[in-house]
Amino acid sequence: MKRRNFLKLGAAVSALPLIPSSMLAADKLTALKKNGEILTAARWGILKASVKNGKIVKSAPWKITSKIPNTLQNTMADLVYNTRIKAPMVRKSYLADPDNPKPELRGLDEWVEVKYEDAIKLVARELKKTREQKGASSVFAGSYGWQSTGNVHVSRTLLHRFMNLSGGFTGVTGDYSTGAAQVIMPHVTGSNQVYEQQTSWPVVLENSKVVVFWGLNPISTLRVAWTSSDEQGFKYFEQLKNSDKEIIIIDPIKTVSGKYFEGKARWIAPRPNTDVAMMLGMAQHLYSQGKYDKEFLQNYTVGFEKFVPYLTGQSDGVAKTPEWASEICGISADVIKELAIKFYENRTMIMAGWGIQRAHHGEQAHWMIVTLCAMLGQIGLAGGGFGFSYHYANGGAPTCAGGVIGGMNAASVGVVKDGKFLGLAQDQKQGGEATQAWLVNTAKVAFPLARIADALLNPGKTIDANGEKITYPQIDFIYWVGGNPIVHHQDTNTNIKAWRKPRTIVVNEIYWTPTAKMADIVFPTTTEYERNDITMSGDYSNMHIIPMKQVVAKQHGAKDDYQIFTDLCKAYADGLA
């Protein structure tokens, strides 16, 4: 394959039929508006930016949908002008000797400012060296985090595209948000559930008699969405508050949502991480009273006959009675019984959050919610059953019938040999066995995201994951974009120890986050307000297609992630060292 075709693959313009090339070329952009209002978007909604003499002076929501304020919508100026990384930086010990970079000094070493072109060459050279010496599986680019929204400048996909085309990498499965539930739910319900559309809010508001918030805090978490928030969730929770529904909040602490619904909702506070015991107590009471839907269980479920011996204590000698549950969860047996009967006798929607599954055996919480709802027999009835995404990205907002825009994709694994890019592995006529082996050693190497520290500290270790055996590769090169895993990951001290194991860590970042400070090479990147892009509003509603118009000029030495990976493609193809 010719070099220009490789660069075309790296730039990925052909993958974006709905997006004009002018969006990607700064020299073709029209002049920025220096004064007035500019429409753009971020994860916290569609925004109006007010600029004066080319500076942001104010940001506000494009449209107000409820009386619940979202202060994130007023932070645009702070995000653009404060705590920015102002130039490409390399850790002093790494710059002095990349082969002996003293990784134990990460987070402690001095930083040296370098030219952008030199940083690009350095990353390309060290990435090649790592692959040549230790193989593609030693390069970790799974990356993860709440990158800026936008379908073009989507940093993680751009990273994956570059890494795939240049030879492959080790990735990850799952995420931190729903790491347990998203694995167990397909085995229980046949689908993911946690990132799927919910029973629509109009149906809930019309038909539900009891609405339960089990471990969710929507008034706080609905401030953001994965795309751009359509801001419908606040409106619907506001309508719920003003309705005649009985609202029950089951949460160890009185959250922002608990305070918002104070005077309207009943708050029940079990001990943390005892939700399953409380649900088992309800289930046992329903079973002992004969108040469960035998027909639903017989017609629409399998396995109840295996669950009952555990519930009654026949299998282990411990009946999961409300009294037994009360000793564990701290809620009186009478309340547990009352709730169980209330849920059975009234059309009940159980809205569950994700925090209850972020623990050892966390998969049991959502599994037990589905089991309890199956006993109630209301799954599939209007306003009944369960939902695991009402607190996230405005789940339950009705889905629009319009189109959905596309964007970047991660491409396929490329083959690089003797300093030349030969094309995509799937296109090479090298024989099925060789091509398949290449794919196994690159695109198919992945482990659960939450095991990143364990993987770095224990290369070669084999773990069980979702019914399979996974062996950690020896990771020697990390490239992370659009996230802050040093504070996102559990057990920070162990994570920091793990991050001092690889030889090279590269980070694209806007701010001096803890993760940026723990890198060897840092590229300063633009915010979503310093570039043109396009996105949807509403992860579930697909309500709008939004032009994310550039609000201000690029700050300091910041580059778009798109530009950085385009330049890395050029460096990697030319073999610069």
The catalytic site residues sit at: 144, 146
Q: How far apart are CA 176 and CA 490, in angstroms?
A: 9
Torsion of CA 353, 355, 361, 364, to 10 degrees: -10
Maximal CA-CA distance, the chain = 76
Tokens of 139: 């390069």
The CA-based angle 270-383-252, given to 5 degrees, is: 10
Q: How far apart are CA 253 and CA 368, in angstroms?
A: 21
Place of tokens 């709008």: 544
Cα 568 to chain centroid distance, Å, stands at: 26
SS3 content of the chain, % helix, strand, coil (to 5): 40, 20, 40
Three-state DSSP at 548 gives strand
Q: Which residues lie closer than 8 Å to 493 by C-beta, 6 or more apart?
A: none
Q: How far apart are CA 57 and CA 254, in angstroms?
A: 36
Q: What is the DSSP string of 231-300?
A: -HHHHHHHHHHTSS-EEEEE-SS--HHHHHTBTTEEEE-PPTT-HHHHHHHHHHHHHHHT-S-HHHHHHH
Q: Single out the residue of 84, 105, 93, 127 nearest to residue 506, CA to CA.
A: 127
φ and ψ of 306, to 5 deg? -85, -25
